[in-house]
């Protein structure tokens, strides 16, 4: 949580520092939804000492288990001051057997 706050504050400071001075002192707002498509490849492990599992999922594989997702970016400017930020979330569910045990995972 502290890391998220630090990133937000750094982004806000950069937006303020790089905003050109404007004669217009009214608030200006911009909101932009966006799409990002990616796959996953690599090794993952839950705890030290537990063997890592190999992951190789294309975007199509991920899309099949995706329940919902959204991404949005926004900016607000007033004169030479401004704020900006973005938010993304995804919700997926998968069920599969691993090592002879039944696992159900959801995020």
pLDDT tens digits for 71-103?
Answer: 889 999 888 889 999 988 888 777 665 554 444
Look up the pTM and report it.
Answer: 0.48
Structure confidence at residue 93 (pLDDT):
77
Residue 106 burial by Cβ neighbours in a 10 Å radius (0-12, 13-18, 19+):
exposed
CA dist., res. 95 & res. 102, Å (int): 8
Compute CA 73 distance to the chain's CA centroid, rounded to the nearest angstrom.
11
pLDDT of 20: 55
């Amino acid at each position: 949580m502290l890391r998220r706050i630090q990133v937000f504050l750094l982004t806000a400071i950069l937006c303020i520092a790089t905003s050109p001075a404007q004669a217009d002192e009214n608030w200006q707002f911009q909101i932009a939804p966006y799409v990002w498509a990616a796959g996953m490849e690599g090794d993952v492990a839950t705890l030290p000492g537990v063997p890592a599992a190999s992951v190789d999922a294309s975007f199509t594989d991920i899309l099949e288990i995706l329940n919902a997702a959204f991404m949005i970016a926004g900016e607000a400017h007033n004169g030479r001051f401004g704020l900006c930020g973005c938010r993304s979330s995804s919700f997926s569910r998968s069920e599969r057997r691993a090592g002879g045990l039944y696992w159900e995972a959801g995020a």
